[in-house]
Structure 1
Amino acid sequence: RYKTCAKAQPGSLGHEEQDAKTFASWGIDYLKYDNCNNGDTKPLQRYPDMSKALMQAGRPIFFNLCEWGDMHPARWGAAYGNSWRTTNDIEDTWDSMTSMADQNEVWAEYARPGGWNDPDMLEVGNGGMTNDEYIVHFSIWAISKAPLIIGCDVRHMSQDTYDILANKEVIAVNQDPLGVQGKKVRMEGSSEIWAAPLTGYRTAVLLLNRHAKDEAQITAHWDDIGLPAGTAVDARDLWLHKTLDTKFTDKMSFNVTPHAARMFVLTPLKSQMD
Structure 2
Amino acid sequence: MGKRRCAVVALLATIMAVIMELAPLTVATSRRNMLTNGLGMTPPMGWNSWNHFGCNIDETMIRETADAVVSTGLSKIGYEYVNIDDCWAEISRDDKGNLVPKKSIFPYGIKVLADYVHRKGLKLGIYSDAGYFTCSKKMPGSLDHEERDAKTFASWGIDYLKYDNCNTDGSKPTVRYPVMTRALMKAGRPIFFSLCEWGDMHPAEWGAPVGNSWRTTNDIADNWESMISRADQNEVYAEYARPGGWNDLDMLEVGNGGMTEDEYIVHFSLWAISKAPLLLGCNLRNMTEKTMKIITNKEVIAVNQDPYGFQAKKVRMEGDQEIWAARLSDYRISVVLLNRGPVRYSTTARWGDIGLDPKTEVEARDLWEHKTLRTHFVGNLTATLGSHSCKFYVLKPIA
Sort the TM-score into its range (normalised by shorter chain): over 0.9
Structure with the bigger percentage of helix: 2
- The residue that corresponds to 2:174 in the other structure is 44
- Residues 1-274 of structure 1: matches in 2 within 5 Å? 2-212=132-342, 214-269=343-398, 272=399
The one-letter code sitting in structure 2 at the alignment partner of 1:163 is K
Q: CA deviation at 1:31?
A: 0.8
Q: CA deviation at 1:4?
A: 1.8
Moved more, 140-149 or 227-236: 227-236
Q: CA deviation at 1:252?
A: 0.6
Aligned CA RMSD, in angstroms, stands at 1.0
- The unaligned stretches of length 5 or more in structure 2 are 1-91, 93-131
Give me the whole-angstrom Cα distance separating, in 1, the residues matched to 2:375 and 2:168.
Answer: 56
Give me the whole-angstrom Cα distance separating, in 2, the residues matched to 1:76 and 1:139.
Answer: 27
Give me the whole-angstrom Cα distance separating, in 2, the residues matched to 1:15 and 1:223.
Answer: 53
Q: CA deviation at 1:99?
A: 0.5
Question: Which consecutive aligned stretches of 4+ in structure 1 deviate over 2 angstroms post-superposition?
Answer: none
Give me the whole-angstrom Cα distance separating, in 2, the residues matched to 1:142 and 1:232.
Answer: 25
Give me the whole-angstrom Cα distance separating, in 1, the residues matched to 2:286 and 2:377.
Answer: 41
Residue 208 of structure 2 aligns to a residue whose secondary structure is: helix
Instruction: Please give the TM-score of this superposition, normalised by the length of structure 1.
Output: 0.96
- The unaligned stretches of length 5 or more in structure 1 are none
Give me the whole-angstrom Cα distance separating, in 2, the residues matched to 1:46 and 1:156.
Answer: 39
The one-letter code sitting in structure 2 at the alignment partner of 1:45 is V
| Count of equivalent residues | 269
Q: Deviations over 1:142-178 (max 9, x none)?
A: 0000111111111121111111111111111001011
Residue 199 of structure 1 aligns to a residue whose secondary structure is: coil
Residue 235 of structure 1 aligns to a residue whose secondary structure is: strand
Structure with bigger gyration radius: 2
Q: CA deviation at 1:10?
A: 1.9
Instruction: Please give the TM-score of this superposition, normalised by the length of structure 2.
Output: 0.66
Give me the whole-angstrom Cα distance separating, in 2, the residues matched to 1:26 and 1:90.
Answer: 30
Residue 278 of structure 2 aligns to a residue whose secondary structure is: coil
Give me the whole-angstrom Cα distance separating, in 2, the residues matched to 1:149 and 1:44.
Answer: 25
Residue 149 of structure 1 aligns to a residue whose secondary structure is: strand
Give aligned-pair identity as a percent.
67
Give me the whole-angstrom Cα distance separating, in 2, the residues matched to 1:195 and 1:152.
Answer: 28
Q: CA deviation at 1:124?
A: 0.6
